[in-house]
Structure 1
Amino acid sequence: MNTANLQLEGVYAAMTALMTALRDKGLLSVDEIDQALAKAESGLVADVRRPAGVSAANVEAICFPLRYLRLANRAAAEEPAPAFSVLAARVGQNKVRINLSDK
């Protein structure tokens, strides 16, 4: 596996821990976190400045972190918390295909 992928897995774990802390302290609700991440994902998908040569598969890859974090946010109530590999698989199973011609 690429070392960068392993480093990103650590970043996702760190972001999940921060989201959990925000939620546990009552600073943001599950829905507020989800809305913020959904807004960021929509912005990435609709980015009209992205070079035309970027494929839909690459845009899917760009959106993966946001989709992962949204699932991690919603799965926070599960005991034990799902592992990275479980949530990553769920992202793939729930993937919404991006149609770049709609931009």
Structure 2
Amino acid sequence: MNVANLQLEGLLMAVAAVNRLLVHKGVVSAQEIDAALQEAEASECRSDDIPPANREAIVFPIRLLRLANQQPPAAELPSFPALTRTVGQMR
């Protein structure tokens, strides 16, 4: 596997963990994080000048973070492979 992919995997899981911490501390709600991520996904999906496969690649990390954000607060965050499988099934 490409080292850059591993770095991105680590970054995504770190952002997911920070998002959970922010919700736990009451800084933002899970709904506010989801709304921000949903807005980011929608803005990327409006780009007509990129091929659909590239668009899917661009929105993948956003969808992964949205899925991680939907996990119950008391539950352990699923692993990266588990999240990616679920994101892949969502398309």
So what's the TM-score if we normalise by structure 1?
Answer: 0.81
1:24, 1:79 → 2: CA distance?
12
Structure 1 residue 55, shift from structure 2 partner: 1.2
Aligned residue in 2 for 1:21: 21
- Percent identical: 45
Aligned residue in 2 for 1:91: 87
Aligned residue in 2 for 1:42: 42
Q: Secondary structure at the match of 2:77?
A: coil
Aligned residue in 2 for 1:99: none
2:9, 2:72 → 1: CA distance?
17
So what's the TM-score if we normalise by structure 2?
Answer: 0.91
Q: 1:57-88, CA deviations, whole angstroms, 9 ceiling, x for partnerless residues? A: 11000000100000000114363321010001
RMSD between superposed Cα atoms in Å: 1.4
Larger radius of gyration: 1
